[in-house]
Amino acid sequence: MDAALRRAGPGTVSLDASTRSRLVGLFVDEAQETVASLESLSERLGGGPEPEVVGRFGRAAHGLKGAASALGFDDLAGLLHDLEALSLRLDGDGAEPRAERHGRLCRAVGLLARGIAEMSASGRDGFPAPVVAALRETLGGAPVPTNGASAFQGAARMLDAGGLPGEAVVERLSVPADEVDDALRLAASLARGAAMLEERLGGDGAAAQAQGLAEAARRLETSIAALRLVPAGTAFSGFEAEAEQLASRLGRQARLEIQGSEVRADRRTLQRARGLVRHLLRNALDHGIEPPEARLQAGKPRAGRLSLKVETAESVLRVALEDDGRGFDVPAIRRELERRSGASEAVAALSEAEVLQRFANEGGSTRGSASEISGRGLGLSAVAAAARASGGSLEVVTRRGRGSTVSFTLPLDVYAVEALGVRSAGRLFGIPLSAVERSVCIGAAGAIHEGPTGRTLAIDEGIVPLAALADVLGLAGGEERFAVVVRSADGTVAFGVEEVGTVAGVVPSTVPGLAQDGALVTGLTRLADGSVMQILDPRHLVAAHRADRPRPAAARPAPVAAAQERAPALEVVLAEDSPATREVLRVLLEEHGLRVRLAADGDEALARIGERLPDVLVTDINMPRLDGLSLTRRLRDEAATARLPVILLTSRDDAPTRAAGAAAGADAYLVKSRFDASVLLETLGRIGLRGAR
């Protein structure tokens, strides 16, 4: 296959060779039928304007474009888009006579037929490059520019221009943390005093000097606070060698990798985290990583893999230790909990996550004797207790036979963040820039639509929930002139605000009782103009909106036992009229743990939904008999399906189509050319559905 003509994106790389070959064969069969139809229709277009024929030609080219996009034939998809556009311009204004336009259309269809025939005869996985070039010229498109400049050539130009800049010499001083804390408290006191002085002087002639003093004090406070921040690698240094030595003592082989060494956090929190990581490391090596012989029998490498990931999320330090060992023995843990509690029925009703969480909190071991390395199973409970005592949390995830991940959070005493300033209900808030996708004027972005699951806003290539920031924060009033699109692990939400300001780099002050687990406001900072900004936690902000938002009926939490059984297998009805596209999407979805029922058009989709209500409908917009928009409106009109999540899938990426989808009541909008299973899974999570891996 010509690598230049196939997208190497997430939607195609997961297919094995035999599956890929079968899907390409399906595409070629469909393309031959479509091109034969295009040839017949193009001849009829020579006799004069026939809107019905033009429409059929455009729909045929559009459908083949979607199939080409699904298989990653991006150049062919782009040319089919140009062919579709040319058919619509046959009778439009322009210097080129109609006969010449029609001639170009017929030549393009002929070239298309030639390329498909070559694919069929040669078994090629890709449209022939010479035919692509001829089609591009015929349709009047500019050739794709080739950028021959390599990174090496770019570096050479930099050297020619004067060479690389020399490294700056940094002088480092060691200062006791307590002294830095004292300096920080003094600077904060100075800043507050200067601000009070500025307010008292008011319009007096000395006001300018007071303002300058206040600004200098605030800058000093910020600078000293930043001195408390050190790289995580400094606190976690030596763990790699420690893990190797400990593994050797246990007769195992293991290697630790640390991700996020460059993350900066306050030294005190990192030191607390170091002690907790050591507990987890010893547990993972003693209980998780198998001896080399056992690993080989299980089809694993002799040496175990340990990965320590460190990150900061606004006011919280997150640390996760992952291993590829045997994982937690959940049935044995459940039996141990039953033995200790004597309440077997209550323990049996717990989900796997609840069993692990209770085991982590209570401590204990499923072993018959204590281990020299990890004691009597108290290491995990010690980490959980320490995290909770600091205002953090602990989470355990296991994959039996494949490993486990234990993660904990600790609140940060000091943290730095770039925040986008917004105003809502007359107050100033800061949203961490790392979580902000974009901000838009609501009027320019499109109409707000009210649906069964709340308000939505059609923006970019998707439909996102819309909520007033003031409502989520429990504040009264507040006009929604702008929307800030915020993304977190729990999904994406557009928050309506009065004003959007600038980005500021700040070191917020944490407030006792305010920056606790689950708090929407994690800290306060005073800006250069004296105004106070409250820093928001995006993850809890999105979660708070989701908790208040009406959930689709299919997305409501099931009882624990049922949820555990159903979680790995969400059911999707997939409505798509192109056989090749339908099969590509089916394979991709099933590979990611989804159960798929197929429909060739909207009418067939209604029949599938009537047989059994799925968890979600994924539907193309342009289909015969009943299109995706009409299908969505039909579903919203029926009580049984009014809250069924609907995701529109189409080749068209334009504002009117997005607005039409939102008006019909769709929950999300995905573009075929950028579709892959990971995007769909992320979208499912955003609209309240979980359960695919």
pLDDT digits (tens, 9 = 90+) for 341-382: 777 778 888 888 888 888 887 765 555 444 444 443 456 777
Sorted by where each starts, the structural domains of the chain and their CATH numbers stand as 3-139 (1.20.120.160), 178-193+209-227 (no CATH), 232-411 (3.30.565.10), 417-547 (no CATH), 553-686 (3.40.50.2300)
Q: Which helix (H) or strand (E) element contains residue 521?
A: strand 521-526
Most confident of the following: 13-17, 92-96, 189-193, 580-584: 580-584
Cβ(676)–Cβ(9) below 8 Å: yes
Is residue 669 a contact partner of residue 647, using CB atoms and an 8 Å limit? yes
Q: What pTM was estimated for this model as a whole? A: 0.45
- Give yes or no for residue 304 having a pLDDT over 80: yes
Rounded CA-CA distance 237/274 in Å is 10
Task: State the Cα–Cα distance between residues 164 and 262, nearest whole angstrom.
Answer: 23
Is-contact 636 664, C-beta < 8 A?
yes
* pLDDT over 90 percentage in the chain: 10
d(CA 317, CA 306): 19
Distances (CA, A) of 557 to 163, 564, 609: 61, 11, 20
CA distance 691 to 693: 7
Q: How many residues does the chain have?
A: 693
DSSP SS3 for 265: strand
Contact 622, 62 (CB under 8 A): yes
The string of pLDDT tens digits covering residues 22-39 is 678 778 877 887 888 888
Q: What are 307's strand-pairing partners?
A: 257, 322
Per-residue pLDDT at 306 = 94
CB atoms within 10 A of CB 248: 12
pLDDT of residue 252: 92
Single out the residue of 541, 519, 488 nearest to residue 315, CA to CA: 519
Specify the pLDDT at position 447: 64
Looking from the CA of 283 toward its CB, the CA atoms found within 13 Å total 28
Bridge-based pairing of strands 229-231 and 264-266 is antiparallel
- Tokens linked to 558: 């099931």
CB 458 within 8 A of CB 655: yes
Q: CB count, 10 Å around CB of 639?
A: 7
Distances (CA, A) of 464 to 49, 225, 485, 556, 687: 41, 37, 8, 19, 9
pLDDT tens digits along 413-447 = 766 677 888 999 888 998 888 788 888 888 765 56
What integer pLDDT is reported at residue 459 of this predicted model? 72
State the pLDDT at residue 257: 92
The confidence score (pLDDT) of residue 19 equals 67
Of 271, 276, 275, 539, nearest in space to 413 by CA = 271
Task: Give the C-alpha separation, 507 to 222, whole Å.
Answer: 6
For residues 204 and 27, give the distance between their C-alpha atoms in angstroms, rounded to a whole number: 79
